[in-house]
Amino acid sequence: MNSASFVVLLMFVCSSLINAGRLEQQLKLWKRNQYQSELASSSEIEDDSNPSNDQQQDVNLSGLPQIRGLGWDESTENEMDERSIEKRDLNSFRQQALDAHNLYRRKHCVQQMTLDSYLNSVAQEYAEYLAQNNLFQHSNHQGMGENLYMTSTTGQLSQNGADAVTSWYNEIHLYNYDKPGFSMSTGHFTQVVWRASNRLGVGAAIANNGAWKKLYVVANYAPSGNYLGQFQQNVPRLC
């Protein structure tokens, strides 16, 4: 083989590798788009502390995107160890969160939820992103609902998946059934019991910043809830 032929062959191989990489990216994008299209087409109703010796703070975020800084110094934001929960514990955490969702949904006589592997992966990836970057803000994921929760403590960090869901659901006491609609103070509750939502994804990640330990929880829902004009039929009273 002469040098010219070798160069042509090398260019062909490189081009093939590049095209293969592009194809893989296109397939991933296609899969995500297909999933989101499925959510859109399947949705018939679519349109977001008490200190003690051990200090603890619980923070929720739902509904319209917001950004809330956590207040730790930037010099400590990389002091992260055990960011991901062990897989066995994560599976248990997800089941606890699912059971809590379905417990509360039964109180309102709406359909039960099931865990969705794709939503799980999206939620886990984002939970780890929040923990790694010391952030607390909504993602820009389309076609799915999202609830966020963060608890921080200087003591023992609870890793029960039901805790976040209970915190979200407790907003029921602030919800006005006589004037159904969205509110930043009840957006978690309304998404938890949203009648049309039947698939759930849960992610959790841990961050250590000096004396403070933080647990981030992300829940994604499909079809998504909290659509204006659709609260009356999707957020029923206790039955």
**DSSP character for 120?**
H
Angle at Cα 146 formed by Cα 157 and Cα 56, nearest 5°? Answer: 25
Q: Are strands 145-153 and 56-62 parallel, antiparallel or unpaired?
A: antiparallel
Residue with tokens 């999202």: 146
The model's confidence at residue 65, banded by pLDDT at 50, 70 and 90, is: very low
Per residue in 133-184, pLDDT (tens digit) is 989 999 988 899 999 999 999 988 888 999 999 999 999 999 999 999 999 9
Residue 12 lies in a domain: no
The tokens for 80 are 């992260």
CA 203 to centroid of chain Cα atoms: 6
Residue 149 belongs to a domain with what CATH number?
3.40.33.10
Per residue in 68-104, pLDDT (tens digit) is 222 233 333 334 444 556 666 999 999 999 999 999 9
Residue 29 lies in a domain: no
Angle at Cα 236 formed by Cα 235 and Cα 239, nearest 5°? Answer: 145
Instruction: Find the domain containing 199 and state its range.
Output: 43-234
Whole-model pTM?
0.69
Residue 9 lies in a domain: no
How confident is the prediction for the chain on average, in pLDDT?
A: 77
Total of domains in the chain: 1
